[in-house]
């Protein structure tokens, strides 16, 4: 066999080493940030910390959670993630179900499909959307963050393909037993698609948690910023002018360890759902991509 | 004949019943689509109507109806405005290299990972490399700002340790572009391997066995079986990426750039944002955005048709 030859063994060792180093390299920056966040101020600001905290302290986290802006944003983010995921999933299901029917049994199906698909291909762009949110009076409300993205056409397509993969006989049996469309969806389709729904909700949650741009442009008051937008402002832009805290607090926020702690807290929910995500997503993607 | 007359009324009635039954049933289906249709109308189609301001000198206090119409002036301005050419060029360069690197890195990684026989190693490796995909550019941007800092960031400590001068990764135009491309690979190459790994698992093992019998070593097997097997999906991905040639990654650039690198790092999307939202030149920004949108839509349609023709690939 090829893997018993000497040449292949040498390649194999080199390959394992390379892949091992590469994989660790991918998360090394995250470990570094984690180490900095748990280090005391002096070693962190003189760049002595690498991958293990020096002078272990949770000071940075205490300071972070002592900042009322941060707590506010955390709540906004949690609220938006939960509401948007629930609404998004309901809309996805009730949209994917009719679209998964055959053209013959549901006239108008392809018209609807093109109506939705066109929005993937072409969009009005940033400025008209911004004016729209303004005109609708949604500025500074959480709905500005939820409604524009409540319909994800990509999710609908994935779900639609999943529904189409379910045996036709189940649907026919449900209809013969006198169930209407809504009953069939809730009692037959949804229970059978739970893994797919779980995958898509996790993806939606990650997407919602990570969204920062909408919060930044649609919210003028820092109190309404979701966490991602707040982090964008204070860590990436390093613009502390929007935060109204006393000067001593300001110094705290700009410390390297506190910045690291904030970054890590921002990433934490993703790290927490990641194991579940990983279990599902390969399967989920394959399920959605394969037709017939 | 008799049979026929007997059957017709029955048949007709049954189709009529069926039709009514269908109508009633489909009524529910139509109702189920109402929320999605409304959302798409309000948040997608109305903004599409809003692009009329690209043909106006739009003033928010005057509104759509009162603002003066200027025809194609904003688009003419687009080609005269000094920065636009550079911005389009930046977008193309950054997007091009990202597409190439974003195809090549996962391709190679998938082939190497395919040679790993320890399942546990494979799984751990995948877990680690997929992770950055799920973090936002705000988080990754914050991390990069820290580790790339010229004042003793981790990467520059390494550069200095090897006897180099600290590099201002995010302050020098050329380094900025390199940083964009490499950090994009960092975030996405792991996730990109999924589709290649899926294709690899679909290769018939009999092919390898036959090659083995014929005396081909693993390298030759890779060259003549594995790589050809990955070609169809590679062609599809390459074709589909044509539609992305104007997307250099707003989130990434916005979270990493600063005025020092505007000349080489400013892309269409960031330019539109600064112009429209920060400077209030809404009409001109919309015109630039519309220009991008139209070109991108044409490219996407062409690329999907090509993918269908070349590899029989269909999205819908």
Cβ-Cβ contacts under 8 Å for B284 (sequence gap 6 or more): B74, B77, B78, B81, B275, B276
C-beta of residue B264 within 8 angstroms of C-beta of residue B91: no
> How close is the nearest chain A Cα to the Cα of B298, in Å?
9
Residues of chain A in contact with residue B301, where contact means CB-CB under 8 angstroms, are: 121
Q: Which helix (H) or strand (E) holds B69?
A: strand B68-69
Option in B125, B143, B212 nearest A2 (CB)? B212
Considering chain A, what percentage of its residues have pLDDT values greater than 70? 89
Other Cβ atoms closer than 10 A to B124: 14
Q: Comparing C-alpha atoms, which of B106, B128, B270 is closest to residue B197? A: B106
Q: Phi first, then psi: give them for residue B68, nearest 5 degrees.
A: -75, 145
Put simply, the answer to whether A131 touches B60 (Cβ < 8 Å) is yes
Residue A154 clears pLDDT 80, i.e. is over it: yes
**Residue listed under structure tokens 């469309």:** A181
Residue B6 — very low, low, confident or very high, per pLDDT cuts 50/70/90? very low
Q: Give the best residue of B32, B138, B222 to mutate against chain A (max A CB count within 10 A).
A: B138
Rounded Cα distance, B88 and B53, in Å: 22
Label residue B185 left, alpha or beta by phi (over 0 means left) and psi (-120 to 50 means alpha).
alpha
| Chain B residue at shortest CA distance from A235 | B142
**CA distances from residue A46 to A31, A50, B233 in whole angstroms, order as listed:** 18, 11, 48
Q: Which of A205-209, A228-232, B227-231, B232-236 has the lowest mean pLDDT?
A: B232-236
Residue B13 clears pLDDT 60, i.e. is over it: no
Q: Comparing C-alpha atoms, which of A64, A40, A69 is closest to residue A52? A: A40
Residues of chain A in contact with residue B124, where contact means CB-CB under 8 angstroms, are: 23
**CA distances from residue A155 to A200, A258, B245 in whole angstroms, order as listed:** 7, 37, 24
Report the mean per-residue pLDDT for chain A. Answer: 86
**pLDDT mean over A235-248:** 67
Cβ-Cβ contacts under 8 Å for B100 (sequence gap 6 or more): none
| Chain B residue at shortest CA distance from A271 | B131
Put simply, the answer to whether B29 touches A97 (Cβ < 8 Å) is yes
Put simply, the answer to whether B46 touches A124 (Cβ < 8 Å) is yes
How much is the ipTM here?
0.87
Option in A8, A106, A217 nearest B26 (CB)? A106
What digits encode the pLDDT tens for the residues B92-110? 999 999 999 999 999 999 9
Put simply, the answer to whether A126 touches B276 (Cβ < 8 Å) is yes
Residues of chain B in contact with residue A218, where contact means CB-CB under 8 angstroms, are: none
What would the two tokens of residue B146 be? Answer: 């820290």
**pLDDT mean over B299-312:** 83
> How close is the nearest chain A Cα to the Cα of B122, in Å?
9
3-state SS, residue B136: coil
| Chain A residue at shortest CA distance from B155 | A29
The model's pTM is 0.86
Residues of chain B in contact with residue A95, where contact means CB-CB under 8 angstroms, are: 32-33, 35-36
Could you tell me which residue, A198 or A236, shows the higher pLDDT? Answer: A198
Option in A47, A136, A277 nearest B152 (CB)? A47
Count how many Cα atoms sit within 13 Å of the Cα of residue B162 in the half-sphere of its side chain.
8
Residues of chain A in contact with residue B109, where contact means CB-CB under 8 angstroms, are: 19, 22
Residue B11 clears pLDDT 80, i.e. is over it: no
Option in A47, A112, A132 nearest B33 (CB)? A112
Rounded Cα distance, A286 and B233, in Å: 14
Q: Which helix (H) or strand (E) holds A284?
A: helix A256-289
| Chain A residue at shortest CA distance from B297 | A121
> How close is the nearest chain A Cα to the Cα of B311, in Å?
15
Q: Phi first, then psi: give them for residue B57, nearest 5 degrees.
A: -105, 80
DSSP states of B1-57 as a string?
-HHHHHHHHHHHHHHHHHHHHHHHHHHHHHHHHHHHHHHHIIIIIHHHHGGGGGGEE
Put simply, the answer to whether B112 touches A15 (Cβ < 8 Å) is yes
Residue B59 — very low, low, confident or very high, per pLDDT cuts 50/70/90? confident
What digits encode the pLDDT tens for the residues B256-276? 998 889 989 999 999 988 888
**Residue listed under structure tokens 């093992």:** B205
Other Cβ atoms closer than 10 A to B87: 23
DSSP states of A120-135 as a string?
HH----HHHHHHHHHH
Residue A287 — very low, low, confident or very high, per pLDDT cuts 50/70/90? very low
Option in B35, B48, B129 nearest A94 (CB)? B35
What would the two tokens of residue B277 be? Answer: 């939202």
| Chain A residue at shortest CA distance from B208 | A2
Rounded Cα distance, A139 and A130, in Å: 9
Q: Would you state the pLDDT for residue A150?
A: 94
């Amino acid at each position: 066999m090829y893997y018993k030859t000497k040449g292949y063994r040498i390649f194999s060792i080199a390959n394992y080493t390379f892949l091992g180093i590469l994989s660790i390299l991918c998360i090394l920056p995250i470990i570094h940030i984690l180490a900095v966040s748990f280090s005391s101020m002096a070693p962190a600001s003189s760049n002595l910390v690498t991958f293990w905290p020096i002078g272990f302290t949770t000071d940075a986290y205490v300071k972070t959670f002592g900042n009322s802006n941060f707590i506010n944003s955390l709540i906004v983010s949690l609220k938006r993630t939960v509401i948007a995921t629930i609404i998004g999933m309901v809309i996805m299901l009730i949209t994917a179900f009719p679209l998964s029917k055959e053209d013959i049994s549901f006239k108008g199906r392809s018209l609807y499909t093109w109506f939705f698909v066109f929005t993937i291909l072409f969009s009005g762009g940033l400025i008209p959307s911004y004016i729209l949110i303004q005109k609708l009076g949604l500025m500074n409300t959480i709905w500005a963050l939820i409604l524009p993205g409540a319909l994800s056409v990509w999710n609908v397509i994935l779900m639609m393909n999943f529904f189409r993969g379910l045996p036709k006989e189940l649907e026919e049996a449900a209809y013969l037993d006198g169930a209407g469309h809504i009953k069939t969806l809730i009692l037959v389709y949804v229970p059978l698609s739970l893994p797919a729904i779980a995958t898509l909700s996790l993806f939606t949650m990650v997407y919602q948690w990570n969204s920062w741009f909408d919060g930044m442009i649609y919210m003028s008051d820092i109190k309404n910023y979701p966490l991602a937008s707040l982090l964008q402002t204070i860590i990436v832009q390093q613009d502390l002018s929007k935060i109204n805290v006393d000067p001593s607090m300001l110094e705290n926020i700009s410390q390297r360890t506190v910045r690291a702690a904030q970054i890590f807290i921002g990433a934490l929910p993703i790290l927490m759902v990641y194991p579940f995500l990983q279990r599902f997503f390969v399967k989920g993607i394959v399920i959605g991509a394969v037709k017939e | 004949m008799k049979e026929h007359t007997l059957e017709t009324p029955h048949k007709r009635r049954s189709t009529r019943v069926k039709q009514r039954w269908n109508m009633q049933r489909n009524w529910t289906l139509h109702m189920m689509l109402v929320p999605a249709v409304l959302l798409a109308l309000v948040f997608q189609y109305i903004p599409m109507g809003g692009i009329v301001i690209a043909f106006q000198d739009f003033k928010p206090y005057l509104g759509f109806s009162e603002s003066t119409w200027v025809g194609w002036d904003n688009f003419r301005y687009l080609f005269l405005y000094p920065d636009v050419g550079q911005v389009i060029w930046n977008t193309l360069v950054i997007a091009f290299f990202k597409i190439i690197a974003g195809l090549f890195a996962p391709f190679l990684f998938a082939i190497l990972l395919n040679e790993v026989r320890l399942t546990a190693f494979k799984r751990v490796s995948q877990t680690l490399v997929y992770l950055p995909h799920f973090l936002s550019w705000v988080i990754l941007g914050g991390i990069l700002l820290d580790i790339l800092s010229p004042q003793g960031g981790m990467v520059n400590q390494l550069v200095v340790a090897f006897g180099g001068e600290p590099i201002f990764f995010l302050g020098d135009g050329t380094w900025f572009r390199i940083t964009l491309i490499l950090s994009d690979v960092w975030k996405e190459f792991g996730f990109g391997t999924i589709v290649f790994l899926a294709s690899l698992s679909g290769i018939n093992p009999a092919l390898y066995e036959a090659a083995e019998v014929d005396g081909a070593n693993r390298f030759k097997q890779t060259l003549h079986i594995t790589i050809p097997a990955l070609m169809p999906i590679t062609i599809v991905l390459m074709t589909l990426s044509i539609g992305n040639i104007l997307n250099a990654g707003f989130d990434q650039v916005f979270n990493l750039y600063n005025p020092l690198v505007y000349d080489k790092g400013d892309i269409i999307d960031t330019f539109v944002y600064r112009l429209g939202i920060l400077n209030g030149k809404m009409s001109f920004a919309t015109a630039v955005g519309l220009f991008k949108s139209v070109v991108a839509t044409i490219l996407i349609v062409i690329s999907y048709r090509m993918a269908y023709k070349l590899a029989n690939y269909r999205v819908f």
